[in-house]
Amino acid sequence: MKAIISTLFTLALIICVSTDTFAINSAQKESATSVLEDMTPQDFLQMEAKDLQKMTGKKVRLKDRYALAMTKHLVKKQLKKGEEVNISEEFKENKNGFSVVGFLLGFFLSFLGALLAWIFLKDGLKSALIGMLCSALIVILSIVV
């Protein structure tokens, strides 16, 4: 039982903590938002994270992958409604939408952490709620198993 809990905890820490690594080709680095400004919505919806990495010359981190997926989802919704789409603005908003500190507060301090994240962090409440959900799932799995 302790082995399962420690394995789940270790896995959660590995997922949460990431190191910064940079692409080797540093000559052509551009920001992702400047690359996305000239792109049509149809091209954007077909783009993968690897394509974004090739265009920018930077390693695509987990936060960028999350922002890319969320932006694709929102662009699809806007196209169905017939609204005008600004891909670079949507990507900027979604890229800043996850806070690791908020997640850790929610994961370790539960409701108190969510309250602290809501008060002190700009984008911390959603991340803290995700952290609370992850900790609750681990507790439930440890009780069931």
Contact 91, 116 (CB under 8 A): no
Assigned token pair, 102: 């908020």
Amino acid in position 125: L
Query: How is residue 8 written in tokens?
Result: 């789940």
Q: Which pTM was predicted? A: 0.52
> What is the predicted pLDDT for the residue at 86?
83
pLDDT at residue 115, rounded to an integer: 93
Distance CA 113, CA 132 (A): 9
Residue-level pLDDT at 14: 60
- E strand intervals along 68-119: none
The size of the chain, in residues, is: 145
Distance CA 134, CA 104 (A): 10
93 burial (CB, 10 Å; 0-12 / 13-18 / 19+) is middle
Provide the pLDDT for residue 17: 55
Cβ atoms of residues 129 and 102 within 8 Å: no
Spans in the chain with pLDDT lower than 70 = 4-30, 96-97
